[in-house]
Structure 1
Amino acid sequence: MRINYPRSERDGVMRFVPSGRQFLALIGMGFGVLLLVFLVLYALVKVPTPNEFSTAQATVVTYADGKTEIARVADANRTSIPLSDVPLVVQREVLAAEDRDFYEHGGFSASGIARAAWNNIIGGSTQGGSTITQQYAKNAYLTQDRTLTRKAKELVLSIKLSQTRSKERILEDYLNTIYFGRGAYGIEAASQAYFKIPASKLTGTQGAVLASLIRSPAGYAPETNKDRLRGRWNYVLDAMVAKEWITEKSRARQKFPKIAKRGSGNRLEGDNGFLVDMARRELSALGFSEEEVARGGYRITTTFDQKAMNAARTAVEEKGPETGVKGLRIGIAAVQPGTGAVLAIYGGDDYLTDQFNNATQGIVQAGSTFKPFALAAALENDISLYDRFSGVNGTTFTFPGFAPYRVNNFDGYNAGGSISLLRATQSSVNTAYVDLENEITPEAVVDSAIRAGIPGTTAGLNAGPTTVLGTSSPHTLDMAAAYATFAARGLQANPYVIASVRNANGGLLYSKRPEVSRAYDADIASQVTYALTQVVKNGSGFAAQDLGRPAAGKTGTTNSNLSAWFVGYTPEIAVAVSMAKSTESGGLKTLRGTGGMTRVTGGSFPARMWTAMVKAFLKDTPVQQFDGTTSNSDGYGGGSYKRKSTKSPTATSTTKPTGAPTTKAPTPVPTVPPATSPPSTP
């Protein structure tokens, strides 16, 4: 059949104007091509797995109660919930705002598609008109490109979704993936972001606000465009009346709800960042990948106790120094005796300003807080608390393989010829403890410290004359965990922060079982505790008496006043507090001048902060004794004492003391690792 075109019966340009029949034929051909394209696309386009971002859920990190949220770890702030958790009125408000005929159409709006196509052809802006099904298809399966190809795929996917899924399932998926602003994806996260409540508690007026935000979260942001948001809110409620989902009378009673102020946008500020960082590191060690944590929607219950955390921060704010604090680093760690659960960490003032955790990453010499490990080793070697050792300031000791070592006591203290081990602990007498170390060997001190919980990899943990004086540099958390061993009557437990991990459906993926072993006999640990209670009652830790309940502890101050410690415990909690100052290059500088003090000792700011924290944490709780009872007035829980005959000091006194708080370590022979300058502390 011959096509009469150009038309022979016409002249000039009119020959190229198609006849009515030809025009209809062209339209028919166009529709035929479009139909063919649609059929090809329908056959080729499969409903894929939703893209990872659209299904990613925030992992929630909570305190030990499993309820109070610390922060969320996520690529997107999203928590998926079932449709049944969204009030019906809120569901309808979303439909009123975005797709009033959702339950009637087959997944697409012909008028909306035509409008979008026309605007693309003429170069105009893409206008609204996509159905909820189309919006979900775009967000979950496609890119955000504004092209006809993407629109065609969106159309086909929408139709297929409508044929393979229920309307309720599509609406549920949509409500869990759509963006509402404030970093919130999904209606549950949005409800928390704007109203601080779960979606299940939303009212109709609140739901209308969230429905209004969907079209343009930035354009209707309450912080900058509240009037526009109110106008859109009215539009949504009017649409609810038009659909007869609410009455005119009900509409007239609606009042614009109060919207919560926008947060900083970063839940890692303050202490939170340190806690989350510790949790992420432990999760990684347990085999959970970063991707799993960021997208899995897990619920991580930590060991951190909110009351203990608040107590630690308040203690620093109220009892820490206020002047001379440039470069000051304070670390606090609290551990539960017998389990190893980390109850509190104070790693610094604000994680967003400085991510260095003073409690878990900072290392400073332990000073005399290391002496209890030597005390425990001595008791194991049948040495009594009442055996006597050199109390003479300036005594010189000789250790095999080392040059002679002259030891000074703090402030030149001279106890006479000898002093009991109990009194030496109470007054932190260096000469007595070096004398003791010489008898039991430095290796025994190192072994005792490791058994208590000090890692063998600790910087400076070498066996030598200065070991007992704390020349090693443990982390604050390590010291808290090690002293917790004494509090638990000799049971050592590795510290941990992850109590349990559950998936998005509530299934248990991990539950911690404390790793506990016996480091010391209960009798040995009890005797150490008794000695350390005397430090608080009659010695350098007297500031802790303000606690008003049984407490044991030890102060520590290092050479040149580079650090100050107080580490102590009650039956319920073991806490370590460290102080040091860093230079701009990362080294350490003296604490002198901090808080207006010429010398900062462990019995000053560290002991005060320790006492304030523990007192606040234990407030309104029964007073526990170290033997597990509530009747022992002095707080000591038992343990036998072997009184042996007085032993003569093995070292000899040398020249008149200089009064210096510390001495330089002797130069060891080349076969032994060198020791650093020995701390000397009260």
Structure 2
Amino acid sequence: MGRAEERRARQRGGRRVAPRRRRSAPEAAVASAGAPAGGKPAKSFIRRLFTWKKILGTFFGLCLLVIAAFIGLYMYVDIPKGNVAAQQQSNVYKFSDGTMLTRKGEVNREIVDLSKVPRKVQLTFVAAENKSFYHDAGVDFKGTARGLINTLSGKGKQGGSTITQQYVKNYYLDQDQTVTRKLKELVISLKVDRENSKDDILAGYINTSYYGRHAYGIQAAAQAYFHTDAQKLTVQQGAYLAALLQAPSQYDWAVATDTGKRLVTARWNYVLDNMVEEGWLTKSKRDAMHFPKILEPKGVPGLGGQKGYLVDLANRQLEQQLMAQDGLTPAEAEKAVIDKGWTITLNIDRKKQAALEKSVKSQLTSNLDPKKRKVDGDIQPGAVSVDPKTGKIVALYGGQDYYHHYTDNATRRDFQPASTFKPVILAAALQNSATTQDGTPITANTVYDGTSGRQVVDQGRKVGFGPPNEDHRSYGPISVQQAMNNSVNSVFAQMGMDVGMDKVMATAKQLGMDTTGMQAVPAQTLGSMGASPLEMAGIYATFANHGEKVTPSILKSAERQGSSVKIPDPIGGSVISRTAADTVTSVLTGVVDDGTAKEHVADNALRDGQQVAGKTGTSDENKSAWFTGYTPDLVTSVGLFGEDPKTNAHVSMTGATGPLVRPPGRINGGGYPAQIWAAYTFGVTDKATFDLDTTQGAAVQPTYTPTTPSSTPSGTPSHTPSSKPSTSTSPSHTPTHSPTHSPTQTPTQPPTQSPTQTPTGAATDNPLDPGGGQDIGQGIGQ
């Protein structure tokens, strides 16, 4: 730097800048090789490769490629001809031996012009499915993208689509969950929205949608649910039909579960609230609306007699499998099954099916005469028969005729199983090694207080529940075996408390009962929940199968267009121990030989020494009566239900068949249900013996003799339960009989005490306070 420059630098910075050091030749060479001018370090290869400019360029390039691909797809895909009618093909249903059961394929549809549908009814569908329908482009890009992602990830469809997209799927495409189908749906929806008016699209949508009850289109749906034409539908009715589209079978009020009814009611309210929100309905009119009355469905051609019940259950189980296997929604699964060319082979055994139908007719329906007795017209029989080794449903009785009673009595869950639930309580006690209130293990020989109306006790405190026994009969000290034989409510109410009702309900769920929404309260010990013959057959089949879970299946195979659906194995893993299950079976043999089923099952002339286990049940007010019983090879649950044919209300069956029923005219589980069971079972089974791994119960031959009664009662009696229940407070008599069938094992350690007073265990009560209990109006016992 020269002197002039130095002077200028001092003037600028107030000080002299140090002279720059000249680099040596080697240093300069290194600098020029390893760093750019200015001394900054060189960028790495990764940093040079992924620059912001390159990333943005790649992103925009991909966007352009996607846009170009979509434009190409848009130009390539044309709107196809409508093919819904062509897609409807007959489903063929066969018995297990391959012989024809029925063929069903007639499409129930009548196209109506949109002008024939009231305007506000039209708007119920818009409010339910796509509020932006009148101003969108026909596509929900966000929902479609979500559907594509879920499809690619194997999660199935999740997320809604527009009315236009649903119409395209219904009318032009199919229900397959593939990326190709979804992309076609997107393109065709855009074109349809561009080339058709919104009214045309809405008309197409409501005329092609499936509403359940084999009804396609709004006209068929109006007839199916309200027995009227589409043009006469009210807003309330329209909102119900619009709500149905989300899950037609699940939301059909005639067959819906409590959960289904709750969901469709919520959906109905959602539709009407959306109409208010959009200004299509005034708040005052909406507040005045009530849920519409849903009428009984009419029969479908080709499904008369029992065929309709068999076909409906087969369709339902196939739909459930498609939902699990392919991720379909309930509505999509139903559309994929109904009239789509399936060949479905059922597990139904043709001979057993005929035998079950014959038994119901000979033992019950031939004796019903509604012209003489109005109550005879209220009797609804239902039954399910299951092979416990395979889980196959081999016979089913859903009602007198599918055309006259659409609701399947074999699968309905709106009646109480009453005392047929008691074996579940015992199973829970055995599985959980439960004890009485004083710590005595609960076994078949444990003694309880059988006083009618006795207040249930929990750790010395009464819980405010004291159910009466049938006819308010008191038994005094009574063993669990005798209590099961005679269906003593007070004993099992206390046992439920000893086990813990949460554990009882957990065991019920493990055995196959749908416990959704059920509270774990003492009243459930009386079978006060809802259950179906199908459920009870599955539970008892699990007992018969030594604790291995049985989920009854009507499906043997399902094939369509050369491909088949994998049918799950009805037999699952162990849900209760073999000893617990076999002990329940052993105890239930006593109900047949020495209890409430003795007259029509044990003493039946057709029995021929066949071993049988089972349990009767009769609900309070005689609204339902049951017998669920089994041999080693066949489990059958028979239920009779009182239902007013006009209102569908639950009514008493007392007095049905008139003089054929002994006074006071009550229909007990040990009566007609047991008669139907015996006439059917003993006619189709071969003689077999239970293989039981237990030392307890009526099926086990006792080898000991009673000991001298002790002054201190224990939880276990020293005598063999007799066929006559003890009514005294000090049962000390010797056995009057022994079991009539062969045991498989004998007790290894007989009880040593006999109660001489009211037990101090689970059945203790204040002698100064007899309890009396409260009649809660549930499960009277037998």
TM-score by length of 1: 0.58
**Corresponding letter in the other structure for 2:453:** G
Instruction: Give the alignment partner of residue 406 of structure 1, picking from 448, 466, 471.
Output: 466
* Alpha-carbon distance between aligned partners in 1 of 2:625 and 2:748, rounded to the nearest angstrom: 31
The residue identity in structure 2 corresponding to 1:303 is N
Q: One-letter code of the match for 2:647?
A: S
* Other-structure match for 2:104: 73
If asked which structure has higher relative contact order (CA below 8 Å, sep 6+), I would say: 1
Identify the residue that residue 259 of structure 1 maps to in structure 2: none
Give the whole-Å Cα distance in 2 for the aligned partners of 1:524 and 1:573.
20
Letter in 2 for 1:279: A
Secondary structure at the counterpart of residue 617 of structure 2: strand
2:748 is the alignment partner of 1:634: no
Q: Structure 1 293/607 Cα, relative in aligned 2: closer, same or farther at 3 Å? A: same
Identify unmatched segments of 5+ residues in structure 2. Answer: 1-79, 109-298, 324-332, 370-374, 434-440, 694-700, 702-739
Q: Is the 8 A contact 1:53 1:75 kept in 2?
A: no
The one-letter amino acid paired with 2:99 is: T
After superposition, residues 186-265 of structure 1 pair within 5 angstroms as: none
Partner of 2:522: 465
Task: Write the distance in 2 (CA, Å) between the matches of 1:327 and 1:283.
Answer: 32
Aligned to 1:594: 656
**Cα separation, 2, equivalents of 1:355 and 1:639:** 50
**Is 1:624 paired with 2:688?**
yes
| Secondary structure in structure 1 of the residue aligned to 2:304 | coil
Show the counterpart of 1:243.
Answer: none
Alpha-carbon separation, structure 2, partners of 1:402 and 1:73: 58
Q: Within 1, Cα distance between the matches of 2:556 and 2:81?
A: 33
Shift of 1:441: 1.8
Segment of structure 1 superposing worse, 48-57 or 322-331: 48-57
What corresponds to 2:344 in structure 1? 300
- Tell me if structure 2 keeps the 8 A contact 1:426–1:532: yes
Given the alignment of the two structures, is residue 313 of structure 1 paired with residue 357 of structure 2, yes or no? Answer: yes
- CA distance in 2 between partners of 1:367 and 1:55 (Å): 46
Task: Quote the residue 2:150 is aligned against.
Answer: none
The 1:434–1:454 alpha-carbon spacing in structure 2 relative to 1, beyond 3 Å, is same
Counterpart residue identity of residue 778, structure 2 = P
* Residue 426 of structure 1: aligned partner: 485
Partners of 1:423 and 1:608 in 2: how far apart?
Answer: 22
Q: Deviations for 1:435-473, whole angstroms, at most 9, x for unmatched residues?
A: 22222122222122112111122x7x3222222111111
The match for 1:664 among 768, 772, 775 is 775
| Contact 1:338/1:485 (<8 A) preserved | no
1:546-600 CA-to-partner distances (Å, cap 9, x unmatched) read 2331110011111111211111111111111111211232221111111223211
Paired positions, count: 425
> How many Å separate the matches in 1 of 2:558 and 2:532?
27
Map of 1:322 onto structure 2: 368
Please provide the CA RMSD for this pair: 3.1
CA deviation string 1:589-637 (max 9, x = no partner): 111111223211110111111111212222xx3x1111189xx972555
Amino acid at match of 1:566: F
**Displacement, 1:304?**
1.4
- Structure 1 residues 652 and 402: alpha-carbon distance in aligned structure 2, compared to 1, 3 A threshold: closer
CA contact (8 A) 2:457 2:494 kept: no
Amino acid at match of 2:344: I
Alpha-carbon displacement from aligned partner over 1:101-129 (angstroms, at most 9, x marks no partner): xxxxxxxxxxxxxxxxxxxxxxxxxxxxx
Please tell me the residue identity of whatever aligns with 2:527.
G
Q: Write the deviation string for residues 398-448 of structure 1: whole angstroms up to 9, x where unpaired.
A: 4589842233221232222x1111111111112222222222122222122
Answer whether contact 1:338 1:491 (CA < 8 A) is retained. Answer: no
Identity %: 28
Cα offsets for 1:363-385 (capped at 9, x unmatched): 21111111101111222314221
Match of 1:679 in 2: 779
1:349 correspondence with 2:400: yes
Equivalent position of 1:484 in the other structure? 541
Q: Which moved more, 1:395-404 or 1:378-387?
A: 395-404
CA–CA distance in structure 2, aligned partners of residues 639 and 449 of structure 1 = 29
Q: How far did residue 326 of structure 1 move?
A: 1.2
Cα distance change of structure 1 residues 574 and 378 upon mapping to structure 2, 3 Å threshold = same
- Per the TM alignment, residue 275 of structure 1 is displaced from its structure 2 partner at its CA by 0.6
Change (3 A) 1:650 1:336: same
| 2:455/2:463 contact within 8 Å kept | no
1:517 aligns to 2:552 (yes or no): no
**1:447-466 aligned within 5 A:** 447-457=506-516, 461-466=518-523
Separation in 2, partners of 1:72, 1:641: 58
One-letter identity of the residue aligned with 2:503: A
The yes-or-no answer on 1:281 pairing with 2:337 is no
Using the size of structure 2 for normalisation, the TM-score is 0.51
Letter of the 1:534 counterpart: G
Which residue is equivalent to 2:198? none
SS of the equivalent of 1:348 reads: coil
Where does structure 1 lack aligned partners over 5 or more consecutive residues? 1-47, 78-263, 666-676
Q: Label 1:470 to 1:384 Cα distance change in 2 as closer, same or farther (>3 A).
A: same
Relative distance call for 1:613 and 1:344 in structure 2 (3 A) is same
